[in-house]
Amino acid sequence: MTVIHPNMADENAKIRARDVCVFYGEKKAIDHVSIDISPNYVTAFIGPSGCGKSTFLRCFNRMNDTIGAAKVTGLIELDGEDIHGSRMDVVQLRARVGMVFQKPNPFPKSIYENIAYGPKIHGLAEKKADLDVIVERSLTRAGLWDEVKDRLDDSGTALSGGQQQRLCIARAIAVDPEVILMDEPASALDPIATAKIEELIDELSGRYAIVIVTHSMQQAARVSQRTAFFHLGKMVEYGPTSEIFTNPIEERTKDYITGRYG
């Protein structure tokens, strides 16, 4: 059973998932999950290791397609459009629904090229001057411009871990996404770099729908307005973050947030 708090349904949902199941071979990793992801909020996915958070997040831009054993069933819509529909171009989908991973993964290219690559292949800029504008704007939004503006030709991999993660966020932003998925984006970072990423999420949240997976309940409480708690492949409870953390309805949610397991 899933407990959904009042007013969590959103007829203007950016992402709408209905009865989504994900199988790895015979094993069911996500079991009939339905959720509305609102464009106006940061949504956090929490739950113990192995409960399916990453698997479910990857559904939203069809990243599970890249995993041979994975099979996704159910309906997922982006702005009301079926992402598994025949008219959906998956490359386009992944530009609209960008992703940032746990481990920063800049391309082994210059800082400039890391950002310029996506806009180039998506035809967002024709002239070098247009690309320059996109590169500066994306790095500025990601809070990295001042740190790298004099070294745009240096390799992206030469940056610190926290800078690399902001570079990856800038790279996602550069193609003008509507949604940014973040799978534990700060778990490999020190507290100062983590604080920067959290600040950044806050700044970006008005502009993009953001879904973040995190193991840190403090982080979920700080950055999100909506929280979904997962357990054993099921979404147990979905509600306003403040309610989930102070007044959860389900016993399993209560147990998790009070640290009884996880």
| CA angle centred on 262, ends 76 and 210, rounded to 5° | 35
Alpha-carbon gap, residue 94 to 117, rounded angstroms: 14
Beta bridge pairs of residue 213 = 45, 183
Work out which of 15, 17, 20, 29 binds ligand ATP, going by CB under 6 A: 29
Contact characters 33-72, ligand ATP, x per CB under 6 A = --------------x-xxxxxxx-----------x-x---
Tell me: does residue 55 bind Mg ion (CB under 5 A). Answer: no
Tell me: does residue 214 bind Mg ion (CB under 5 A). Answer: no
Contacts with Mg ion by CB under 5 A: the residue count is 1
Tell me: does residue 54 bind Mg ion (CB under 5 A). Answer: yes
Alpha-carbon gap, residue 97 to 79, rounded angstroms: 11
246 CB burial (10 A radius; 0-12, 13-18, 19+): exposed
Shortest reach from residue 97's CB to ligand ATP, in Å: 17
What letters, b where the CB count within 10 A reaches 16 and e where it falls short, cover 72-88?
A: bebebbbeeeebbeeee
Q: Select from 58, 78, 74 the least CA-distant residue to 19.
A: 74
What residues numbered 68-127 form the site for ligand ATP, per CB under 6 A?
69
Shortest reach from residue 188's CB to Mg ion, in Å: 13
Tell me: does residue 228 bind ligand ATP (CB under 6 A). Answer: no
Contacts with ligand ATP by CB under 6 A: the residue count is 12
Which positions lie near ligand ATP, rule CB under 6 A? 24, 29, 47, 49-55, 67, 69
Which positions lie near Mg ion, rule CB under 5 A? 54
